[in-house]
Structure 1
Amino acid sequence: MSHEKDLDYLTISARIHAMENRLLNHERMERMIEARELSEAAKVLTECGYEDLGQVTAGGIEEMLSKAQTDLFHDLSSAVGNRALLDVFRCSYDYHNAKVLVKGEALGSNQESLLVGGGRYDPQKLAEDYQREDLRGCSDIFRRGVARARETLGATGDPQLSDFILDRAYFEELTAMARQADSKFLEGYVALTIDVANLRSCVRASRLNKGMDFLQQVLVPGGNVPARTLATARGDELAGLFRTSPLSQAAATGSALSAPGSGALTDFERQCDDAVMEYLGAGRRVAFGEQPIVGYLYAREAEMTAIRIILSGRMAGLDGDTIRQRLRRTYG
């Protein structure tokens, strides 16, 4: 990236670095976990810019997080000229909504209460356009993915197959947007997320004694480790394939847990997420450029996951140590 292009990010990078101070860091998480009352735990979030929840309910938590995510993208859309940087993180909400609409149609029931905001496409308009079979306002990749998923579910009645199709379209679109953004850092992030998805699929398939035919449906191209290589690998070979990857530790753990009945995947899942956070954490040390923006957007997603884990854990009566075991590495 040229020096001139870096300078385009000077103002927004400074703003992002200031916003990082309000993230839910380790100290704030601990206060939420140790708070005597659930309402006290939720009040910590006001320091991070979230609205006061008042009475804490599962629905209230999701409403608060959805609004915060929508507001974040709206706020940054006028300040970040490179739209693809934002769309990489908005895209997942669109594909979630696509899965809801396709499955709702197959079930013959209205599932629109499960639609979420924060994506590129307004969820209610997307639902209306879907019913009219007119998605001209959406990207080509999204339209093709929805059409194929819709046809496949209608023909087979298998929602897992339609999910595979939409997941493949999602990662295809992420890869295309990262290239459009002209950011090696963002391309590295997308390739790493594909590696994570593929590694998880390989470990789970091995534990279920599913072979190459299944993996060829599930694995997606675009990662650092080729999908065709992973499709023919045994579960105990995964550690070697990811030996030089940021996922080396996660792959070693996954290999050890790849046999049926070999134990819980909690540590493996956490190590996968931590590897992505470690990669993006490097962006925080960059004074100006696209890296702080990409890192911050991922950090906000991770923050929202942590909020769900802590508050839902507190609501379920889990002890502090159990909640801590489920948390991921914080941004930094």
Structure 2
Amino acid sequence: MSRKKDTDYLTISARIHAMENRMLTRERMDRMIDARDEGEALKVLSECGYGGTDGVSGQSLEGLLAQARAETFGEIRGAVPDPRVAEVFQMKYDYHNAKTLVKGETMGADASRLLSPGGRYAPELLADGYQKENLSGVSPAFQRAVQEARTILKETGDPQRSDVALDRACFGEMAQLAKDCKSAFLEGYVRLCIDAANLRTAVRVSRMEKGSDFLLQVLLPGGNVSEKTLSAARGEDLGSLFQTGPLAKAAELGAKAARPAGGPLTAFERECDNAVTRYVSDAKRVPFGEETVIAYLYAKEAELTAIRTILASRRAGLDGAAIRERLRETYV
């Protein structure tokens, strides 16, 4: 499939700009946080196009968010000139499902109820193909990764190694698909996501006081900072590795938190996510093109996370200041 021109995205870009008006803005988040009760908070969601929110329980909330995510992917994938742009965002759910199925098999448990919709492959078909050891209709990369993870877990009993294998395959497939789309913006997004994941890993490994050899085994390839460079650096040096890129502030916070007694990771984690949000926010300067679609898909997933964070925090009895501290920057 050849690269689509930006003018091929005129219609979907205009449609997305209209849909952005219904997204969860910071003002709407504040209204949810300050609402007198959950019912009033849920009314805000109705303004954003979420129906059936009266009396939402914890379980039905997850169902509501999962349905919204699947509908968003289905709608955009069916309307966008190049569906591979949407698939870059969908495949993380396929790989989540793969982790769930592999671990479920090892534990002798039925993991079907834990599978997430929204991926490229229907969860029920994925589970059926996995049980029959016949994963047809999936990408060769995904098929190889599942088999590798399955073998690792059977031979070593180490779920972390199995997860790392699937994470590498997931980001590798994302990077390849972005390259195939010939979108520099999408490729940059994937590289930044890899950098953010590796930075998080480096900080946690440093806090655990594990060495560079262990770190190198769990880092992901394909970022702007190589695994070799990152694994050779000490925790306090992380800031210098990312000082010229979008993760500069996150790395500075990470360097301080990398010590065994480095304190909470809340601010660091939030800044990692904010760096990605600021990257996709550059799409606002582009009136039409794949950038608009990429930014919307990212923003929609961030919106679902924000909804979950606000409602879960309210139920946990947190005050407004504590809830706001957990929230990330918004795209709209």
Pairwise TM-score range, normalised by the shorter structure: over 0.9
**Distance of 2:279 and 2:254 partners within structure 1:** 19
Q: Which moved more, 1:191-200 or 1:44-53?
A: 44-53
State the partner residue of 1:88: 88
The answer for unaligned runs of 5 or more in structure 2 is none
CA contact (8 A) 2:91 2:119 kept: yes
CA change 1:108–1:4 in 2 (3 A) is: closer
Contact residue 10 and residue 288 of structure 1 kept, 8 A:
yes
Tell me the alpha carbon deviations over residues 294-329 of structure 1, each in whole angstroms, 9 at most, x when there is no partner.
000000010011001000011111111111000000
For residue 123 of structure 2, what is the aligned residue in structure 1? 123
Partner of 1:270: 270
SS in 1 for 2:120: coil
2:273 partner SS: helix
Residue by residue over 1:270-311, the C-alpha shift from the partner in whole angstroms, topping out at 9 and shown as x without a partner, is: 000000000001112210111110000000010011001000
Alignment of 1:103-252 (within 5 A): 103-252=103-252
Residue 321 of structure 1 corresponds to: 321
Alignment partners' CA distance in 2, 1:235 and 1:245: 18
- What percentage of residue pairs aligned between the two structures are identical? 55
- Does the CA-based 8 Å contact 1:201-1:219 persist in structure 2? yes
Structure 1 vs Structure 2 CA RMSD: 1.3
What's the counterpart of residue 75 of structure 2? 75
Work out the number of aligned pairs and report it: 331
Residue 3 of structure 1 deviates from its aligned partner by 11
* Offset, 1:238: 0.6
Amino acid paired to 2:273: D
Does the 8 Å CA contact 2:4/2:81 hold for their aligned counterparts? Answer: no
Residues 163-201 of structure 1 deviation map (CA, whole Å, 9 limit, x = unaligned): 111011111011011011110000000000000000000
3-state SS in 2 of match to 1:250: helix
How far apart are the structure 2 equivalents of 1:198 and 1:3? 30
Structure 2: distance between partners of 1:78 and 1:84: 11
Give distance in 2, aligned partners of 1:244 and 1:316. 39
Separation of aligned partners in 1, 2:230 and 2:279: 22
Structure 1 residues without counterparts, runs of 5 or longer = none
How far apart, CA to CA, are the structure 2 residues paired with 1:4 and 1:231? 38
CA shift digits 1:48-104 (9 cap, x unpaired): 111122212111111001111111112122210211110011011101100110000
CA deviation string 1:143-182 (max 9, x = no partner): 1111010001011111111111101111101101101111
Distance 2:21 2:217 in 1: 42
Q: TM-score, normalised by structure 1?
A: 0.98
Question: 1:258 & 1:176 partners in 2: Cα distance?
Answer: 31
Alpha-carbon distance between aligned partners in 2 of 1:3 and 1:187, rounded to the nearest angstrom: 13
- The amino acid that maps onto 1:164 is V
> Is 1:43–1:52's contact at 8 Å kept on the other side of the alignment?
no
Q: Which residue of 1 aligns with 2:257?
A: 257
Answer yes or no: is the 8 Å Cα contact 2:281–2:295 preserved in 1: yes
CA distance in 1, matches of 2:274, 2:210: 27
Corresponding residue for 1:35? 35
- With normalisation by structure 2, the TM-score equals 0.98
Q: Is the 2:3–2:181 Cα contact (8 Å) retained in structure 1? A: no
Q: Distance in 2 between matches of 1:44 and 1:125?
A: 35
Pair 1:59 & 2:59 matched: yes
The answer as to whether partners of 1:100 and 1:114 remain within 8 angstroms in 2 is yes
CA distance in 1, matches of 2:63, 2:167: 25
Determine the C-alpha separation between the residues in 2 that align with 1:244 and 1:52: 46
CA deviations 1:191-236 (Å, max 9, x no partner) are 0000000000000000000112211221111111111110111101
